[in-house]
């Protein structure tokens, strides 16, 4: 099992199990800022960990800083994301992201336009969805 070797930030707090499957860690770097309308967090996913389906009213940007993982928008195929990738997620797009089966994943999550809201959490990503099986 691969471990993240290049973390520049501490892991933070264990991610809430009501929004994550598997083990993930969240470090709040910039709390919701009413002047900049932005929230930033570093998220570390252990292999196989992922968040629930969710959306962001203000959109989201993911900057992958280590590892290999998956990103999927509802109704579209799973994309592999790797260190150095930047993912732009438009407002209100339902999606999930997390580590691959055998590798950890670390990304910085930037939530802009927080005056519109931060996140709407939905159901967990099933094992069939995580494994890329269409129903």
Q: Cβ(49)–Cβ(98) under 8 Å?
A: yes
pLDDT per residue, tens digit, the chain (135 aa), is: 344 456 788 889 999 999 999 999 999 999 998 899 999 999 999 999 999 999 999 999 999 999 999 999 999 999 999 999 999 999 999 999 999 999 999 999 999 999 999 999 999 999 999 998 654
Examine residue 63 and state whether it is found in any structural domain, yes or no.
yes
What's the token pair of residue 54? 């969710």
Q: How many domains does the chain have?
A: 1
Could you tell me how many helices (H) and strands (E) the chain has, helices first?
1, 12
Examine residue 11 and state whether it is found in any structural domain, yes or no.
no
Examine residue 102 and state whether it is found in any structural domain, yes or no.
yes
Examine residue 32 and state whether it is found in any structural domain, yes or no.
yes
Q: Cβ(81)–Cβ(87) under 8 Å?
A: yes
Please give the residue range of the domain that contains residue 76: 20-120
Question: What is d(CA 126, CA 71) in angstroms, rounded to the nearest whole number?
Answer: 14
Task: State residue 4's pLDDT score.
Answer: 44
DSSP structural state of residue 102: S
Task: State residue 33's pLDDT score.
Answer: 83
Examine residue 1 and state whether it is found in any structural domain, yes or no.
no
């Amino acid at each position: 099992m691969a471990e993240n070797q290049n973390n520049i930030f501490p892991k933070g707090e264990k991610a809430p199990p009501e929004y994550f499957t598997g083990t993930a860690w969240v470090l709040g770097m910039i709390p919701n800022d009413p002047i900049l309308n932005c929230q930033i967090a570093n998220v570390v996913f252990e292999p196989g960990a992922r968040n629930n389906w969710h959306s962001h009213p203000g959109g989201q940007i993911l900057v992958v800083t280590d590892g290999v993982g998956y990103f999927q928008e509802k109704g579209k195929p799973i994309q592999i994301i790797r260190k150095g990738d930047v993912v732009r997620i438009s407002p209100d797009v339902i999606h999930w992201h997390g580590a691959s089966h055998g590798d950890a994943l670390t990304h910085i999550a930037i939530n802009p336009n927080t005056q519109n809201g931060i996140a709407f959490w939905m159901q967990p990503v099933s094992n069939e969805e995580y494994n890329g099986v269409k129903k």
